[in-house]
Chain A
């Protein structure tokens, strides 16, 4: 974990309201593990003070990148920034995915929308290739399909409106695949909470392990403010654990979805 002011190498529109931000951070880049995040301060926002957390997408040389969607004040302000400008980041943060060991389970990745960004490094660094299920509302929500394919992963695309890939939810082809075989399979997922909950249920039904990257509202990002907590099994009962510190990646069997409501 380092706090540094780093330079923007590029910040370009990907599809629709998605952007790719590349930052030169020679000290941070080598530390990054799959599933970790960066906490970014967009200083140009006058009265919105808090940092914004983003999953780390790719690491290349002395740079790392973020794939984000403009959804509010912070991401809109960030999308206005240009190459050469600087942002303050605290990174890498959080507990990421477990990289499969050679000969271990075949990874099945499930990604919804910009959740795909959090899964790229895992696919890249996993010694076992597997299947990545990517889903979104429409064609423009399918990000980095080419990047996954370039890693020689089997990419299965779904869109809710059928404008690209199979029509339906991302969990449909996942279910079909698990009905075919569950032997030596492990799920890894990142996306909207509804999707994660569905993946957690599927993992339970098929009795396969699953690691879920939770998307919670955050404030400090380093474990002090206790904003981003979710209910997690602990001992005989449960406790609130921090998505920024114990997470964002949790073993799905430990998450108490009912209490979380």
Chain B
């Protein structure tokens, strides 16, 4: 049975990674989760310099999900390399580094830095964070800017490039195509949905940032549709994510057209979810006599 997949030149031993921002830098979960069994570890978004992040409250629970507005708190490139890379580079599985910036030049510079570092599995371009004023979704919701930022990173590195797409567009197909045409090796679909919650006792927003990003099982059907639409528009592989709690959810993403999947919010409440998803995909393949996980990708059947 083959579970391995390719994302550009990156080979994953199975199609399951974790969503950026839900798994820290790997080391935090290393005592609870057998990291070496994952397809890849995807780390929290990093820009050139350290980022302090937003004020509290930063997250709030909602029905079947949560809102977050962390503000991409992080150590910056140098802090990451010093504090987390010594651990990550020794892992048997590849590291996907999520990067961002406030300018195209910054994205490219961060890409160059990680290209020079050596040993990085792939770079994921975060052009879709809804919780920062500059950068993030500003690039992912403008076709021209998206093409420019992907193109600049393509020039800056030979590492596989994954563009993490914003869901907050009228139609994802042209954005998917723009990222592909600009040289992206893969797409990550999707990021969180802009959302809001109010405390009716105090009449105040539940997040200090007022709005945040909705994630968790609540968004899964919307994310499935985005993956399905994007898969028809591009030839490059898609990493599907949004509310995956178990193997059934993951297989749905694969059938919609994803080559791999990422477990996100579920890590917060059940850290074993990624490993349970891998085991469940294997069981499904045995039950359905599927020899290669790649045969599941895009296998949804339309009624004729």
Contact = CB atoms under 8 A, between A and B. Distances in A.
Interface of A: 1-3, 41, 47-51, 88, 90, 216-217, 219-220, 222-230, 239-240, 245, 260
A90 B268 CA distance: 11
Contacts of A223: 24, 28
* Pairs of residues from A and B, 5 with the lowest C-beta to C-beta distance, nearest first: A224-B24, A220-B268, A227-B59, A47-B63, A223-B28
Interface in B48-106: 52-53, 56-61, 63-66, 68, 70, 73
Nearest to B65: A49
Contacts, number: 85
Contacts of B21: 225
Nearest to A74: B61
Interface stretch (B6-14, B122-130, B164-172, B269-277): B269-277
B59 A1 contact: no
B28 A222 contact: yes
Given A1-B32, A50-B268, A219 B59 contact: yes
B23 interface: yes
A50 B64 contact: no
A220 B267 contact: yes
Contacts of A1: 31-32
B269 A225 contact: no
B265 interface: yes
Which of B29, B56, B63, B64 has the most C-beta atoms of chain A within 10 angstroms of its own C-beta?
A: B56
Contact of B269 (A49, A224, A227): A49
A259 to B, nearest CB: 9
A222 to B, nearest CB: 5
A224 B53 contact: no
A128 to B, nearest CB: 33
Interface of B: 21-24, 28-29, 31-32, 44, 52-53, 56-61, 63-66, 68, 70, 73, 216-217, 265-272
A227 B58 contact: yes
Contacts of B53: 226, 229, 240
B229 to A, nearest CB: 27
A220 B44 CA distance: 14
B63 A51 contact: no
Given A224-B23, A224-B24, A225-B70, A239 B61 contact: no
Given A51-B269, A239-B52, A225 B64 contact: no
24 contacts: A3-B271, A49-B61, A49-B64, A49-B65, A49-B66, A49-B216, A219-B66, A220-B22, A220-B267, A222-B24, A222-B32, A222-B271, A223-B24, A224-B29, A224-B44, A225-B68, A226-B58, A226-B70, A228-B56, A229-B53, A229-B73, A239-B52, A240-B52, A240-B53
A229 B58 contact: yes
B195 to A, nearest CB: 15
B65 to A, nearest CB: 7
Contacts of B44: 224
A217 B57 contact: yes
Nearest to B18: A224
Nearest to B51: A240
A227 B265 contact: no
Contacts of A240: 52-53, 73
Given A1-B31, A90-B32, A225 B268 contact: yes
Contacts of A2: 32
B66 A50 contact: yes
A73 to B, nearest CB: 8
A223 B53 CA distance: 15
Contacts of B31: 1
A224 B22 contact: yes
A49 B52 CA distance: 27
Contacts of A50: 61, 66, 268-269
Nearest to A261: B55
B32 A49 contact: no
Nearest to B58: A227
A143 B22 CA distance: 37
A222 B66 contact: no
Pick from A240, A245, A260 the residue with the most CB of B within 10 Å. A240
B24 A217 contact: no
Contacts of A230: 56
B18 to A, nearest CB: 10
Contacts of B271: 3, 90, 222
Given A3-B272, A49-B61, A49-B265, A226 B73 contact: yes
Given A1-B32, A3-B271, A49-B265, A217 B217 contact: no
Contacts of A3: 32, 271-272
Given A222-B32, A224-B22, A229 B56 contact: yes
Contacts of A216: 56
